[in-house]
Amino acid sequence: MKKIFPLCMALLGAVSCCKKTQPGEPALYSAADFDSTIDGKAVSLYTLKNANGMAAQITNYGGIIVDVWVPAKDGAFKDVVLGYPKLADYFVPENTFAGAITGRYANRIANGKFTLDGKEYSLAINNGPNTLHGGIVGFSKKVWDARTFTNDAGEQALELIYVSPDGEENFPGTLTTKVVYTVTVDNQLRIDYTATTDAPTVLNLTNHAYFNLHGGDHKTSVNSHRVTINADRYTPTDSTLIPTGEIASLDGSALDFRTPTTIGERVLGPDSAFNYRDGYDHNYVIRRSSPDVVEAAEVYEPSTGIVMTVLTDTPGIQFFTGKSRVQQDETAPFYRSAFALEAQNYPDAPNHPDFPSAVLRPGETYRQTTVYGFSAR
């Protein structure tokens, strides 16, 4: 959903020198490199594990998923998340949102404006003419209150809470958001979101993790990944990635991933549905017969055998591949070195009455669950 900028990609060199895949215990980052205080609040790095050896490290700065270690088909553990070894690495001038919770409104709001109950709200513009991921200082740049615990199933979990005051980034209402990350016994990273408000507001939460199922130093392109997305329709956009309001069929489109297709198969040639040189950046309408958690997508990398399955109860999912900004051609280092699958409501839903509602009112509770499951074959 957001392009990976030069400095961000340059930091991958730091990733490669600090992270090595190996059988046995994952090579985790040092918590000491994340210990800090921002605006008077402590920042830490938390590690969640299960008995299978899967591990995830998450910081309460932005709720960032720093790494996720899972076994490949040869038994070696691979870090499948694009992350950085130090907290300072996330303080780049370009707001990349890598691995972070995005809100109050993930994705875009057209022209930074929406009307709620007859009142127009004007938001900060931070992406062309639009508002992206909650504005200038959204949830991805906040320090969340954190506690670790073990749930009734014996699974390690991290609870994050952030209270967003009324008027923050010009959004109405004091919003209390809780996000719980859990590493399950089934090699899943589960994310449960809940939120309440004291005044009507709009809300759309997701996590912006970038994945590469090759693991390791993340220098290898994800073009070989085989992707399946369980969607028959998508939301076409204008040139600034704001939905036109149409919900279009994927039939005959280069965006159709109903059968397993490598990322690189179609991005190497032009198609009217997308800018092929910049890759995919589209919201898919998840096929569902109930509002419950369903499988939205699957990604498979043959070389490692790693399979990532995304399950969610959201109406949409943003598939983003983009490409490196180190150079502007396919021969560049780190070219298309990650992808994102962001479970979400539709972009700009507050301005489209025919889209699923993004309004949260007092007395209501926003709930959203997304699960990233991992296996090997």
The 10 Å Cβ neighbour count of residue 40 is 6
* Selected catalytic residue, list 155, 169, 208, 352: 208
- Kindly report, residue by residue over 320-355, the tens digit of the pLDDT: 987 543 333 444 444 678 999 999 999 999 999 999
Claim to verify: residue 12 and residue 157 sit in the same structural domain: yes
The pLDDT value given to residue 95: 44
The pLDDT value given to residue 219: 76
- Kindly report, residue by residue over 102-155, the tens digit of the pLDDT: 999 999 999 999 999 999 999 999 999 999 999 999 999 999 999 999 999 999
Look at residue 200 and tell me whether its pLDDT is greater than 70.
yes
320: domain range? 222-351
Claim to verify: residue 181 and residue 268 sit in the same structural domain: no
Give the CATH number of the domain where residue 21 resides.
2.70.98.10
Residue with tokens 């309440």: 196
Q: Considering the domain boundaries, does residue 177 fall inside one?
A: yes
Claim to verify: residue 150 and residue 250 sit in the same structural domain: no
Closest by alpha carbon to 284, among 322, 321, 243, 235?
Answer: 235
The pLDDT value given to residue 149: 98
Q: Which two tokens stand for residue 56?
A: 């995830």
Claim to verify: residue 37 and residue 105 sit in the same structural domain: yes
Q: Considering the domain boundaries, does residue 26 fall inside one?
A: yes
In the chain, the number of structural domains is 2
* Selected catalytic residue, list 168, 169, 298, 342: 342
Alpha helices of the chain — where are they, by DSSP H? Answer: 6-10, 12-18, 263-267
Closest by alpha carbon to 336, among 82, 91, 106, 99?
Answer: 82
Q: Please indicate whether residue 342 is annotated as part of the active site.
A: yes
Claim to verify: residue 178 and residue 227 sit in the same structural domain: no
Claim to verify: residue 227 and residue 167 sit in the same structural domain: no
Closest by alpha carbon to 101, among 51, 71, 67, 61?
Answer: 61
Look at residue 283 and tell me whether its pLDDT is greater than 60.
yes
Claim to verify: residue 145 and residue 265 sit in the same structural domain: no
Q: Please indicate whether residue 155 is annotated as part of the active site.
A: no
The pLDDT value given to residue 2: 40
Task: Write down the pTM of the prediction.
Answer: 0.91
